[in-house]
Chains A and B, each alone.
Chain A
Amino acid sequence: MNTANQTSDIILDVRNLRTYFGTGEKAVKAVDDISFKMMRGKTLCIVGESGSGKSVTARSILQIVDPPGKIQGGSMMYYGKDPKGVDLAQLHERGKEIRSIRGHEISMIFQEPMTSLSPIHTIGNQICETILLHQNVDMAEARTRAIELLRRVEIPNPQVAIDKYTFEYSGGMRQRAMIAMSLACNPKILIADEPTTALDVTTQAEILALIKELQTSYGMAVLFITHDMGVVAEIADEIGVMQNGKMLEFGSAEEIFYEAKHPYTLALIDSVRKLETSARAARGSRVTDKKLMEIRNVSKIYPARSNFMGKPNPPFKALDNVSLDVFEGENLGIVGESGSGKTTLGNCVIRVLSCSGGEVLFRMADGRIADLAKAGTHELRQVHREIRMVFQDPFASLNPRMTIGQIVGEPLLVAGTHTGEALRKRTEELLAMVGMPAGAMERYPHAFSGGQRQRIGIARALALSPRLIIADEATSALDVTLRSQVLDLLLDLQDTLNLSFILVSHDIGVIRYFCDRVAVMYKGQVVEHGPAEKICSNPDHPYTKALISAVPGTHPRDKRIVNRHRYDAAAAGIQLSGS
């Protein structure tokens, strides 16, 4: 390979790019002196945790950094039509040149398709507008092209779908429409900023496969921004790892995954690979055969409501005859996509929501059996001392007006078990259990990061020495490296405090790592349940198979998503009562 050939393969050459927010001493260096090259027809993944500067990098290329952000230096040579290249950093951000490149030669798709598509125009109009803006064609021609694009992104029945509005599309369809729009002008580079983060795992797999396929047929270069190492392993040819605005490591997918040098990269890969094993098996689980909770035929039905035309919608069954057992010392995982009813189940079990039917039998510490579905206020209050909840959002679940000490001590104070000095001591003890310093007591929640707040939430759950903890997506809002830390903390606590868990999650990795048994939910029903090991590696139900095979792997040599199993409820002939 000679040098001339090498340069002609480069489509974008970023050197010493610096994008700062603010000026002078106080400037936040969002992108601090980074360099990378993008090759024609290849995928570059930039990976990093929230706040690492990966999105700002992508936005800098198109000069759409939000003010006060500004490119302070460096060059971005783009080799498009002009073989000598254009330095994007030198172009004026509102100038003609950048506008002809933006959306035309380099286009971008965003994380949340709902906010990047206009709600008041049809999908077709929005795609046609992009075409008309950059290409010299008439409306009829543009429409034909738009239909063709929708067909290319596998939207069923494109002739009809083109005249629909954004809200008539599902999340995955919207992202497909966004991709269709960005492909409208045959871009040379596609920048995708976390395009699958808001999507379910099966939809994510489909979008990733679609991007991959389109890339090959269009010969685009793709710059893919993500925080998920699994996604990176599936699609990357080259990888850049960012932290605090700096590019820590840059190399081919194989180099990064198998020969990473930087400890941060290693930690990132480890934290994902760790979730491919089971911590329960390694620790030796102490599941007993004593039933702690029996969930019997629980349903949650939202009654029929007529729409504004007076036409009644059918009642919505969020939970349909769900029966599950939880044993003492066991970790039960509930997994499913959004809308599958898994969170509703968690909320019904603890009676945040009331069940429409069925029983939730809980064996209390003193041997009594309480039915949570029917318990009165007094009984419920007693049960709530033994069943506690850890919430998904560590920011919303702590009262901003109370100090950490007050938050963690609240259940003790209300239960009347501790007061004064004893309360203070117990609170300190609880905080120590979750690895928080005693000095945290006087501070307010805003002084802590997401991971620390989640620890505080766990301390609050532990306050009354519960026997069962329901963790509803307790790790979803955290960065990957924190995720396994929090799970390990919960497992450590389980060993010392004799706890059982119900973990609700959409993340198969988290479930596999943490749980003994798994129930898979789909459209309000439990379609399969069994030992975690078996469900996560060799499931029986076709839906579970599809779900598991859509989970991105961690080995770039083994691209799972391309060979994934697809599930079609209608084709599989699955009888789902009520649907």
Chain B
Amino acid sequence: MSAENKQATTVAAAAAAEPAAATVNMANLRGGIEYASQWELMWARFKKHKVAYWSMMFVAFLYVVAVFAEFLSPFDPEDPSSRTVYQPPQMVKFDGFKPYVTKFKLTRDPETLKPTYVDSDEKTYLRFFVPGFEYKMLGLVPTNLHLFGPAEAGEKVFLFGSDRLGRDMFSRVIYGARFTLSMGLIGVILSTVLGIVLGGISGYYGGKIDWVIQRVVEFILSLPTIPIWLAMAAAMPRNWPPHLVYISVTVIISLIGWTHLARVVRGKFLAMRGEVFVIAAKLDGCSEGRVIFRHMLPSMASHVIAAVTLAIPSMILAETTLSFLGLGLQPPAISWGVLLKDAQKISVISAAPWLFLPGVATVLAVLAMNFFGDGLRDAADPYSH
């Protein structure tokens, strides 16, 4: 018996002896540890893992940003300006409580005509909740309100600098989060469905069907992924609208991504098929469906969720890679991969290193999701300690 288990029993014994104690909030669990479901126990364990906990918060923050991209970005990401090409990022400073940025002045080298930006003394004041370009909040409510922006209409602020058409990188990174993160999520949902169904069949029934599915999995895993992506992406007609490209890229990525999940699910099913409580459920008269969905799946749900969380970052990386290579999403769609495509040339990187910021965003998102997934996996496994 593990120490934790022992603790749980002693706590339970104490609570049984003294009914009042049962209502005491133990380990922040409603109603005490003996009433805690496996989910609540998992949550309690997860919260102890500080890095994973804060990573989860960060991931949640990223998705909130993706959902409210229009509200959070001060400018239309497609709004070009010839006067602000490759403008460097501006630092926010404070004048008392009023935030401002110093304006950059565009000068051109008289001989080479190369644009250079120099600091000026002029200030652009920032304000919260300013009107800007029109959009529909959550696709429903038409509004023009933005979280922040320059106090005077017509002014520009570039927190992350601007790109070769003078568009605001900050707004573009926020918009890119929407495509990239949702692609990870949708791709994972597709792979999860495929993985659970095929892995489940494979593990539960075993035998010939298991053999066939496992050989298919091995075949797909043996394929070199990048050439396959290349081939499939190349087969996509160039004139497809962005949303169709988006959907097909997601499908391509998840068609390959389901294999790992199928293996995890199969392994769990195989192990659980022989569990005594599953035999007991069969003897209770449960139908096959009930055995699987009521008894087996809930027991492995936490493991599957952990595996899924760990699969999202690989999806994000896959999208970024594809788009970077020019095979995934195409401009005018904005994703982190598409944005990074601008940073392919060494001359661009040396002149405008801030074009790498979408890469930083990708790294942070992937790291946070990996920590989050690791934490979930540790918490889901009761024998990890």
Contacts and interface: CB of A to CB of B under 8 A. Distances in A.
Interface of A: 50-51, 350, 352, 381, 384-385, 388-389, 391-393, 396-403, 410-411, 414-415, 437, 439, 442-444, 446-449, 457, 460
A446 B9 CA distance: 7
A411 B285 contact: yes
Given A410-B284, A410-B286, A414-B286, A447 B33 contact: yes
B12 A448 contact: yes
Contact of B285 (A51, A384, A393, A457): A384
B276 A397 contact: yes
Contacts of A448: 9, 12
A447 B8 contact: yes
A389 B35 contact: no
Nearest to A398: B277
B5 A446 contact: yes
Nearest to A392: B276
A523 to B, nearest CB: 24
A385 B12 contact: no
Interface in B270-307: 275-277, 279-287, 290, 295, 298-299
Interface string B31-65: 00111111001000000000000000000000000
Contacts of B284: 384, 410-411, 414, 460
User: Which residue, B6, B9, B13, B284, has most C-beta atoms of chain A within 10 A?
Assistant: B284
A350 B283 contact: yes
A389 B280 contact: yes
Interface string B153-183: 0000000000000000000000000000000
Task: Tell me which of A381, A399, A439 has the highest count of chain B C-beta atoms within 10 A of its own C-beta.
Answer: A399
Interface of B: 1, 5-6, 8-9, 12-13, 16, 22, 33-38, 41, 275-277, 279-287, 290, 295, 298-299, 382
A410 B38 CA distance: 18
Nearest to B299: A401
A385 B285 contact: yes
User: Which residue, of A391, A396, A400, A401, has the highest number of chain B Cβ atoms within 10 A?
Assistant: A401
A384 B35 CA distance: 31
Contact of B34 (A389, A391, A443): A443
A443 B35 CA distance: 5
Q: Is the interface of A mostly helix, strand, loop or mixed?
A: loop
Contacts of B41: 446
Contact of A410 (B9, B22, B281, B299): B281
A443 B41 CA distance: 13
A447 B34 contact: yes
A393 B1 CA distance: 13
A470 to B, nearest CB: 10
Nearest to B39: A401
A396 to B, nearest CB: 4
A449 B13 CA distance: 9
Contacts of B6: 51
Contacts of B35: 442-444, 447
B285 A391 contact: no
Which 4 A-B pairs give the minimum distances between C-beta atoms? A447-B34, A411-B284, A447-B12, A397-B276
B9 A449 contact: yes
A107 to B, nearest CB: 28
A372 to B, nearest CB: 12
A400 B299 contact: yes
A392 B283 CA distance: 15
A291 to B, nearest CB: 23
A352 B280 CA distance: 10
Contacts of A396: 275-277
B9 to A, nearest CB: 5
A397 B285 contact: no
B382 to A, nearest CB: 8
6 contacts: A352-B279, A385-B285, A398-B280, A447-B9, A447-B12, A460-B280
A446 B382 CA distance: 11
Contacts of B277: 396-400
Given A396-B276, A444-B34, A460-B280, A401 B298 contact: yes
Contacts of B1: 50-51
A414 B290 CA distance: 9
B12 A352 contact: no
A236 B283 CA distance: 45
A443 to B, nearest CB: 5
B38 A401 contact: yes
A360 to B, nearest CB: 15
Given A393-B276, A442-B35, A444-B36, A399 B295 contact: yes
Given A384-B284, A391-B276, 15 more contacts: A381-B285, A389-B283, A393-B276, A399-B281, A399-B299, A401-B37, A410-B286, A411-B284, A437-B16, A444-B35, A446-B8, A446-B34, A447-B35, A448-B12, A460-B280
A51 B1 CA distance: 9
B150 to A, nearest CB: 54
A399 B295 CA distance: 7
Nearest to A443: B34
Nearest to B286: A414
Nearest to A352: B279
A352 B281 CA distance: 11
A398 B38 CA distance: 13
Contact of A444 (B5, B13, B37): B37
Nearest to B274: A396
A442 B30 CA distance: 13
B381 to A, nearest CB: 12
Contacts of A414: 284-287, 290
Nearest to B302: A401
Contacts of A392: 276
